[in-house]
Amino acid sequence: MSFPVIGITTGHSQNKYGLPQIHLLDTYVNATLKAGGIPIILPPELHREEKWMEIYNQLDGILLSGGADINPQRFGGEAHPSIHDIDDTRDSIEIAITRKAIDDSKPFFGICRGFQLLNVALGGTLYTHIRDQFSAKIEHETSPQEPRNKLVHTVRLEKNSHLAQILEVEMLSVNSWHHQGAKDIPSALKITSHAPDGLVESLELPEHPFGIAVQWHPEWMTKDPHMQALFRAFIDASRKQK
Ligand code: MN
């Protein structure tokens, strides 16, 4: 069996000395490996002069990882004091790669910020702080003291979706680590699940081999058979690209 190569997007942070570093939680790498993929970390700096194009054709799939907020100027979003760690270089490379993967029918999987990114890349908008802009009856921003795999709300899946075919359930319990959410959604994207308060929790691109994005964090729940199935379906679709 071959091992598809998965490009994983990254962000920036600072180490304990305040020095700049490329940032990716290892859960994305480990979940990719566990599902049978070979992770390749893509630094945002590859955006300069479109250097990412030099490696793009060797990637069988793209994993849009979680992270900080997208610059609200990209989608005409409401300013909010909670918006944090804007990273224009990261926004640029992720939007460019996502649009290219859509055009090329290359499998991609968006997680949390990656879900929001897919929406923005196709012209959608975000609630820049759910609590103040959406009548949420659920707390989507779990306290940082809690374990990352804590299940805090359910999602109801659309039966006729690629996501529901993979998960083989109508209801799923998920974790929730987001303070922003999808607001206006472009017609090119299919809404595939909602939280009980009506917030959209997943999107997909119909007619694409694997163009799925979820607001929750399956990479923290790789012991859960449903989340395993989701990662494996992404890696299997990427393998077919080889
Ligand atoms: Mn949620």
Q: In angstroms, rounded to a whole number, what is the distance separating the alpha carbons of residues 10 and 49?
A: 18
- 115-124: pLDDT as tens digits: 999 999 999 9
| Catalytic choice (47, 129, 179, 217) | 217
Of all residues in the chain, the percent with pLDDT exceeding 70 is 100
| Catalytic choice (94, 201, 204, 219) | 219
CA distances from 174 to 20, 92, 238 (A): 33, 29, 25
The structure tokens 């996501």 sit at: 163
Give residue 91 CA to ligand 1 midpoint distance, Å: 22
- Catalytic, 112? Answer yes
Q: What is the mean pLDDT of the chain?
A: 97
Whether residue 242 has pLDDT greater than 80: no
Determine the straight-line distance between the first and last CA of the chain, rounded to whole angstroms: 12
The pLDDT of residue 241 is 86
Give residue 155 CA to ligand 1 midpoint distance, Å: 8
The angle at the Cα of 138, spanning 134 to 143, to the nearest 5 degrees, equals 110
Q: What number of H helices and E strands is found in the chain?
A: 7, 13
| Parallel, antiparallel or unpaired: strands 108-111 and 61-64 | parallel
- Catalytic, 217? Answer yes
Tally of CB atoms within 10 A around 100: 16
Give residue 5 CA to ligand 1 midpoint distance, Å: 29
Give residue 3 CA to ligand 1 midpoint distance, Å: 32
Beta strands in 158-219, from DSSP E residues, in sequence order = 171-174, 181-182, 190-194, 200-204, 211-214
Give residue 171 CA to ligand 1 midpoint distance, Å: 14
Of 79, 87, 91, 32, nearest to 59 (Cα)?
32
Q: In angstroms, rounded to a whole number, what is the distance separating the alpha carbons of residues 225 and 228?
A: 5
Of 102, 114, 135, 127, nearest to 210 (Cα)?
102
The pLDDT of residue 134 is 93
The pLDDT of residue 137 is 83
| Catalytic choice (23, 47, 112, 140) | 112
Whether residue 64 has pLDDT greater than 90: yes
- Catalytic, 168? Answer no
Does residue 212 sit in helix, strand or coil?
strand
- 168-201: pLDDT as tens digits: 999 999 999 999 999 999 999 999 999 999 999 9
1 — pLDDT class (breaks 50, 70, 90): confident
- 24-52: pLDDT as tens digits: 999 999 999 999 999 999 999 999 999 99
The angle at the Cα of 176, spanning 172 to 180, to the nearest 5 degrees, equals 125
67 — pLDDT class (breaks 50, 70, 90): very high
Whether residue 155 has pLDDT greater than 90: yes
- The pTM of this model reads 0.97
- When pLDDT is averaged across residues 15-23 and rounded to a whole number, the result is 97
Give residue 188 CA to ligand 1 midpoint distance, Å: 22
Give residue 178 CA to ligand 1 midpoint distance, Å: 6
